[in-house]
Amino acid sequence: SGQLSISELEDALNDLGQSVNSTQLEQVLRNVDANGNSLVSLVEFEKIFDESQLLNVFDEIDVDKSGYITVSELELAFGKLGIWIPTTQLQRLLHKADDNNDGKVSYSEFQSFFCTVPMANLRSIAERWMSSQCID
């Protein structure tokens, strides 16, 4: 049929090294299933692949698994890359993606801010985040 069911989608993502749990898969599907038929077309799959990469990076940064990225988690993520940024500048970076100004970044805010980063990984996300704000 040229479309994938949810279970076929999960298998395809796992085959591509993008491991997602069922909750993550449902969230990703909700974001890209344009016609709401719970089947995934090739175009939707490409979006899901990009989105699952973003979700993996978000989960890597969200070390306490709270569903939010905080300044301290951002500091740890940049530290893993050998990038040391003062806390005040990290707060400015976080604020750039924090649409509701609650001092933390949800996956939805993260996805909105980074949806244009192709082949997302921690380094490409860090580079995009830093380029969005002047860092001294």
pTM metric for this prediction: 0.64
> Quick one: pLDDT band at residue 134, thresholds 50, 70, 90?
very low
pLDDT at 132 over 70: no
User: What are the tens digits of pLDDT across the range 26-50?
Assistant: 877 777 777 888 888 877 777 766 6
Q: At what angle do helices 71-80 and 87-97 cross, to 10 degrees?
A: 110
